[in-house]
Amino acid sequence: MHITDRHQVAATLIEALPYMRQFKGSVFVVKFGGNAMGSAELTHDFARDMVLLKQVGINPIVVHGGGPQIKQLLDKLQIRSDFVDGLRVTDRDTVEVVEMVLSGKINKEIVGAIHSVGGRAVGISGKDGKLIRATKVKRTKRDPDSNLEQVLDLGFVGEPAEVDTTLLHDLVRTDVIPVVAPVGFGDDGETYNINADTAAGAIAAAVGARKLYMLTDVSGVLDGAGEFIRVLPADRARRMLADGTIHGGMIPKIQTCLSAVEAGVGASYVVDGRIAHVILLEVFTEEGVGTEIVGT
């Protein structure tokens, strides 16, 4: 390594030092999803980031999605799956596949990636330790002919009603990184498929996380002119939601970030998971990357 490169490494470590001190002992909740999950290289980089956070005294909790992988298996099994407002309609056959993919294949792949780079991880779902008690999601749609509201049945799609943090706190106090699949249980004993963004936000609020990170496939939040927003106060975010500036798949992510901040999470971030080591760049550099959502 050239001496200039060595000096750059030293400068990077010096820049990171105050943030290591500031966040030591804090809990960070990281929602892992998007294209990063489909890339072995980015998953490997993500795993190293989580291990480094744990090594310097920060406690990451990983919550992951798995939409593309679920679709792939449903297609293979010839099980039809429709969407309403971005939520997968989940009948009994579908929820079995969802749990199999999320709690099984994907969860254990992320755990394995963390182990492969020297960390320790435990894969759990929202059903383990009564982590996430879910209630059935209710959606309505106005009939254009009668103008009456119709109740839509999404099947076994749930939203967090209660998060029991006992198991997570026990894990955080050790050298283990929890990896959570967004599958919850209902009072009726049924299994519920929960949107991963929503699950991450609920967990962040329940554990009193210092930060919530949402890995996406975009650089961050853009204003009406298409310009990147580095810091987004909650009141401005609400206005952007109301006037349609924030639209499409970004809506539930920003709503989750706002709910987390309002519930006491220090700050929420929308970051580009396609960038290698994006979490380290956001946490340990002065400029950071992505959009930070803060309270008003």
Work out the end-to-end distance of the chain between its first and last CA atoms, rounded to an integer number of angstroms. Answer: 46
Residue 123: per-residue pLDDT: 97
Q: What is the pLDDT of residues 234-258, one digit of tens each?
A: 999 999 999 989 987 788 899 999 9
- Tell me the whole-structure pTM to 2 decimals: 0.91
Residue 154's contacts (CB-CB under 8 Å, 6 or more residues apart) are: 84, 87, 89, 90, 136, 137, 139
Residue 73: per-residue pLDDT: 87
Q: What is the pLDDT of residues 151-193, one digit of tens each?
A: 566 788 899 999 999 999 999 999 999 999 999 999 988 999 9
Q: Which residues on neighbouring strands pair with residue 216, listed in sequence order?
A: 272
Give me the domains of the chain, ranges plus CATH numbers: 23-294 (3.40.1160.10)
Residue 2: per-residue pLDDT: 60
Q: What is the mean pLDDT of residues 254-273?
A: 94
Averaged confidence pLDDT in the chain? 89
Extended beta strands in the chain, E state: 27-32, 59-64, 83-84, 87-88, 121-125, 132-136, 139-142, 149-152, 157-163, 177-181, 183-185, 191-194, 211-216, 221-222, 228-229, 231-233, 267-272, 291-294
Q: What is the mean pLDDT of residues 118-137?
A: 96
Nearest to 78 by CA among 88, 57, 67, 93: 93
Q: What is the mean pLDDT of residues 57-67?
A: 94
Q: What is residue 84's DSSP assignment?
A: E
Nearest to 183 by CA among 219, 135, 138, 132: 132
- Whether the per-residue pLDDT at 88 is higher than 80: the answer is no
Cα torsion angle, 281, 113, 176, 28, sign: positive
- Please give the angle made by the CA atoms of 105, 109 and 111, to the nearest 5 degrees: 120
Confidence of residue 144 (pLDDT cuts 50, 70, 90): low
Residue 150: per-residue pLDDT: 58
